[in-house]
Amino acid sequence: MYLTHLECPKCGRTHDANQVQNLCQCGAPLLARYDLEKIKSTVKKEDLTGRAKSLWRYREFLPVQKDENIVTLGEGCTPLLRADTLGRTLGLSQLYIKDEGLNPTGTFKARGAAVGVSRAKELGIETVAMPTAGNAGGAWSAYTARAGLRSVVVMPVDAPDMAKKETFLNGARTYLVQGLISDAGKIVGRGVKRYGWFDASTLKEPYRIEGKKTMGLEIAEQFHWDVPDVILYPAGGGVGLIGIWKALEEMAAIGWISGKRPRMVAVQAEGCSPLVKAFREGRQESEFHQNAQTLAGGIRVPKALGDFLVLEAIYKSGGAAIDVSDAEILEALRLTARSEGMFICPEGAATIAAIQKMKAASLVDKDERILLLNTGTGLKYPETVEIDLPVLGAADDIVL
């Protein structure tokens, strides 16, 4: 196919893509590289017409060599929705939301799992292990089950109950840790050394990002190859933002898009905002965020392995990093539901709160095309909604 090698974005070393790989010798994550000239000469945008509505429609941009190794649950091709009512409320004339909550397993994590597990199967890996804030564990356990592989998942004890149940139900060996995802990662690392599992932690394997990359391909196609002005993404590990930016660069290299790139905006919670702090200080990497706390568990990542790649995309695009409070996240979640009928996840709601801040600070123009990424369905987070409903007797009437 079109995959040629793996490359370290820090030291430039190349690695054999046909061998099982984790990190570069220098400790940085590896990125999949393709023969873009071959893609350019053999594949046209028009060729996508009539292809299946899944992320595998972008087959040439993905690392799986043989079709029989593809593990799929129908992921990708999520809707791009114009949010006019919400936009009017916020004073924005072209506001869009890409709803990743309609993926299998209910979040964008299905994309990374589909491609990561497919490639693991192709390379002969039998057991994958990973730390997770919740949703990645649910996704990877589903796809490993479908592929016939074994999985081991460690997550914080306060991860969403639905994620714990989903991972357990899918047959993963599931463990809880009194701590953060970083603590779960240390436990997985020890298990990898002891038992020889494959470490599928965020960016410690090269192919999860390739699945996330398909969000960028879809965004371009759904906007008819005229990309938006601003993209806001809730960043924990930041793989989705890195992947979208990688897709934009690959499409530009083969002439599928041209002109100015979207300004990439990483959104974090005030209780865990290492990328925001690094951006404000103009640094290339972040520091570990002590005592990380936020109700948006997916972005409670104290230190991301790929932080330098997130910051690079922000700087190159003229973007920003914004943090919001948990109270602002909950208010944005309610506002979006009442305005657009969308029950989004708290991480997605963080982008709503962030665009409000950006508009107030004149960091965006009211007529720019702005895209917000909702990374999951709110149905996986019932704890974010507290209700006190009136109870009627059978003979009672409704009184307004």
What's the pTM value of the predicted model, to 2 decimals? Answer: 0.95
Ranges of H-type helices in the chain: 36-42, 84-90, 109-122, 135-147, 161-169, 181-195, 208-222, 239-253, 274-280, 307-317, 326-340, 346-360
Answer for the pair 289, 278: CB distance below 8 angstroms, yes or no.
Answer: no
CA distance 146 to 137: 14
DSSP 8-state assignment for residue 183: H
Amino acid at 202: T
CA separation, residue 118 to residues 126, 223, 242, 385 (Å) = 12, 28, 20, 36
Give me the residues paired with residue 269 across strands: 272, 324
The four Cα atoms 62, 70, 131, 350 give a dihedral, to 10 degrees, of 60
For 30-65, b/e burial (b = at least 16 CB within 10 A) is: bbbbbebeebeeebeeeeeeeeeebbbbbbbbbbbb
Question: Which of 247, 259, 249 has the alpha carbon at shortest distance from 217?
Answer: 247
Residue 1: predicted pLDDT? 78
Strand partners, 94: 369
Q: HSE (CB half, 13 Å, CA atoms) of 197?
A: 23
Residues 6+ positions from 62 with CB-CB distance below 8 Å: 55, 56, 115, 210, 211, 214
**pLDDT tens for each residue of the chain, 400 residues long:** 799 999 999 999 999 999 999 999 999 999 999 999 999 999 999 999 999 999 999 999 999 999 999 999 999 999 999 999 999 999 999 999 999 999 999 999 999 999 999 999 999 999 999 999 889 999 999 999 999 999 999 999 999 899 999 999 999 999 999 999 999 999 999 999 999 999 999 999 999 999 999 999 999 999 999 999 999 999 999 999 999 999 999 999 999 999 889 999 999 999 999 999 999 999 999 999 999 999 999 999 999 999 999 999 999 999 999 999 999 999 999 999 999 999 999 999 999 999 999 999 999 999 999 999 999 999 999 999 999 998 999 998 988 8
> Is-contact 276 299, C-beta < 8 A?
no
Is 157 exposed, middle or buried, given 0-12, 13-18 or 19+ CB atoms closer than 10 A? exposed
Q: How far apart are CA 209 and CA 117, in angstroms?
A: 12
Give me the pLDDT at residue 400, please.
83
Task: Produce one character per residue of 216-241: b if its CB has 16 or more CB atoms within 10 Å, e if not.
Answer: bbbbbbbbeeebbbbbbbbbbbbbbb
Q: Give the single-character DSSP code of 237.
A: S
pLDDT at 279: 98
What one-letter code names the amino acid at 102? L
Which residue is listed with tokens 């602002």?
A: 328
Which residues, in sequence order, are bridge partners of residue 234?
Answer: 267
Up-side HSE of residue 300: CA atoms within 13 Å toward CB? 27
Which pLDDT belongs to residue 399? Answer: 82
On whether the CB atoms of residues 138 and 169 are closer than 8 A, the answer is no
Contact residues for 395 (Cβ-Cβ < 8 A; gap 6+): none
Q: Which residue has the tokens 């972008």?
A: 58
Percent of the chain with pLDDT over 70: 100
Q: What are phi and psi of 253, to 5 degrees?
A: -65, -30
* pLDDT reported for residue 121: 98
CATH 3.40.50.1100 fits 80-106+209-382, yes or no: yes
Q: Is 27 exposed, middle or buried (0-12, 13-18, 19+ CB in 10 A)?
A: exposed
